[in-house]
Chains A and B, each alone.
Chain A
């Protein structure tokens, strides 16, 4: 019997808290454990006893990549509980802010994380040096447009300060937004170049069954409003989220794993789920991006996720263009808010999938209890399932290639490693 032990970082480049452990005995995987995510329990505790008006400034600190998602799940939930009537235009401006975050996050993922994998480079540095400098620069330009859109509307793009319960503390001027239009027009052309770039790439195929989950809305491509839907026909409201799904404790990780309560099965969130469940709402350029990138719908193949991110970026740019052209500042920028006691539940579509929040609120607006269920934690169990089903077919590959393939399986989910876990290592043990 041969024994080999390999250690390779999956994403981070030093040892740390997060890891993927794979043990292979006689060509059979006998142990597979993924620990890449620390749930925002510190913030759930930190929110207890705070006034509701502080929540929009606290929750974006949970994630440097998707602060808007955290704000929006919290704000819309509290506004529903408090029966706030939003001034005209607030919802549209928030959608525009959210689209900026999608563009920023998706373009970062596609160009700096996924493309090096698919083109056979170690990282984006080698990609830029290896003849793809223009592609890296284009990706950074597109990502920056998303950042700038967020900064224009939200104040600071890393932790936007402008959104609040009731509306915005200040509405951006039309001229500030319209100044971005020429760059959006350029980006709409460039996103099709990105689609053309990824079309010929050799992508593994993995058409396994999966139950996809996303918010669905009869009036458009759902981001902040609608009801939960799955590809197996389940439907539930945000208020029913914690009945329909259950977080379970697993021995090897401090993160909880999410499953459907009745069937004990995992589910798959994110851009591919959204494109599949809400594809009828794709805009013309998004459809063209799908066609040119080779994304053939319907598909359950998680390796189609990169193309889905390009398609959603096209949709985001196209919608942003329309929202800016039609923009009139909400006046007043915020409605008055009177707190009341009760339970707020809401979910929105963060770049990497559905982000659920629940707040139990006292009569004076104090947060009694907060619950935050991020998309990465909900996807964890499905990531493990994918690894367990995909890797047996490639065990004959050398360790470095096996490592790369395992990374790609995990990367399909764009897990939000940044939020708390800084370091990640992959251990493959073969005996």
Chain B
């Protein structure tokens, strides 16, 4: 059977932007059989990583477009035919093409598996800084929620 794929995104050197990678690594330690965990720094890698998966769970640090969430807030969203809902657009982007845009492209092309997005609101994303206490404290919940969705 095709695997459930958990994709952790982010930048390991940029403070809270590492949250998706750190969470995915923890998920990898606890994941049941049939669940694959992949790390990606370039969100566009998602387009390749969607292939061959039964279901995909993406975990990444995000920022609310209007600043309407506090750092450490954990959210879950399911991608529809138009990609991700507006509330979770604007994940930390690479070349202006972030997770939301990438999922939107996959949806527009029309061959994407079901995608669930788990995000944690980032506070500090300066290069070379450590993860903030707010985001660190949110990681256990984030990991539990990803695992709950990953179970076959």
Residues of A within 8 A of B (CB): 10-16, 38, 40, 42-43, 45-46, 61, 64-65, 108-109, 112-113, 123-125, 128-129, 133, 136-137, 140, 143-144, 147, 158-159, 416-418, 420, 422-424
- Tell whether, in the assembled complex, residue B108 and residue A65 are in contact, meaning their CB atoms are under 8 Å apart: no
A367 CB → nearest B CB, Å: 17
When C-beta atoms are compared, the residue in chain A nearest to B90 turns out to be: A14
- Tell whether, in the assembled complex, residue A14 and residue B96 are in contact, meaning their CB atoms are under 8 Å apart: no
- Contact A158/B40 with A13-B65, A124-B97, A125-B83 known, Cβ cut-off 8 Å: yes
Residues of A near B144 (CB, < 8 A) are none
- Tell whether, in the assembled complex, residue A136 and residue B41 are in contact, meaning their CB atoms are under 8 Å apart: no
- Tell whether, in the assembled complex, residue A423 and residue B63 are in contact, meaning their CB atoms are under 8 Å apart: yes
Main secondary structure of the interface of B (DSSP, over half): loop
Residues of B near A43 (CB, < 8 A) are 127
- Tell whether, in the assembled complex, residue B65 and residue A14 are in contact, meaning their CB atoms are under 8 Å apart: yes
The distance in angstroms between the C-alpha atoms of A14 and B101, with both chains bound, is 13
- Contact A424/B96 with A42-B13, A136-B109, A137-B109 known, Cβ cut-off 8 Å: yes
- Tell whether, in the assembled complex, residue A418 and residue B101 are in contact, meaning their CB atoms are under 8 Å apart: no
- Contact A136/B105 with A108-B95, A147-B48, A420-B127 known, Cβ cut-off 8 Å: yes
Residues of A near B105 (CB, < 8 A) are 112, 124-125, 128, 136, 140
B105 CB → nearest A CB, Å: 5
The distance in angstroms between the C-alpha atoms of A420 and B109, with both chains bound, is 30
- Contact A133/B108 with A64-B11, A124-B97 known, Cβ cut-off 8 Å: yes
Residues of B within 8 A of A (CB): 11-14, 17, 40-42, 44-45, 47-48, 63-65, 67, 83, 89-90, 92-98, 100-101, 104-105, 107-110, 125, 127-128
The distance in angstroms between the C-alpha atoms of A13 and B100, with both chains bound, is 10
Residues of A near B67 (CB, < 8 A) are 15
A362 CB → nearest B CB, Å: 23
Residues of B near A147 (CB, < 8 A) are 45, 48
- Tell whether, in the assembled complex, residue B90 and residue A46 are in contact, meaning their CB atoms are under 8 Å apart: no
When C-beta atoms are compared, the residue in chain B nearest to A42 turns out to be: B128
A346 CB → nearest B CB, Å: 23
- B90 is contacted by which of A13, A42, A136, A418 (Cβ under 8 Å)? A13
The distance in angstroms between the C-alpha atoms of A16 and B45, with both chains bound, is 24
Residues of B near A61 (CB, < 8 A) are 12-13
- Tell whether, in the assembled complex, residue A422 and residue B41 are in contact, meaning their CB atoms are under 8 Å apart: no
- Contact A12/B93 with A108-B44, A144-B48 known, Cβ cut-off 8 Å: yes
- Tell whether, in the assembled complex, residue A64 and residue B42 are in contact, meaning their CB atoms are under 8 Å apart: yes
When C-beta atoms are compared, the residue in chain B nearest to A45 turns out to be: B128
Residues of A near B41 (CB, < 8 A) are 64, 158-159
- Extra contacts, 19 of them, besides A112-B97, A125-B101 (Cβ < 8 A), are A13-B65, A15-B65, A43-B127, A45-B128, A61-B13, A108-B95, A109-B95, A112-B44, A113-B97, A124-B101, A125-B104, A128-B109, A133-B109, A133-B110, A140-B105, A158-B40, A158-B42, A418-B42, A423-B63
Residues of A near B110 (CB, < 8 A) are 133
When C-beta atoms are compared, the residue in chain A nearest to B61 turns out to be: A422
Q: Which of A13, A61, A108 gathers most chain B CB within 10 Å? A: A13
Residues of A near B108 (CB, < 8 A) are 124-125, 128-129, 133, 136
- Tell whether, in the assembled complex, residue B47 and residue A422 are in contact, meaning their CB atoms are under 8 Å apart: no
> Can you identify 16 A-B contacts, CB atoms within 8 angstroms?
A11-B96, A13-B65, A14-B64, A42-B127, A108-B44, A108-B95, A112-B97, A113-B95, A123-B101, A125-B105, A125-B107, A128-B105, A144-B48, A147-B48, A417-B94, A422-B14
B58 CB → nearest A CB, Å: 16
- Tell whether, in the assembled complex, residue A418 and residue B95 are in contact, meaning their CB atoms are under 8 Å apart: yes
- Tell whether, in the assembled complex, residue A65 and residue B42 are in contact, meaning their CB atoms are under 8 Å apart: yes
The distance in angstroms between the C-alpha atoms of A414 and B111, with both chains bound, is 29
Q: Which of B41, B65, B110 gathers most chain A CB within 10 Å? A: B41
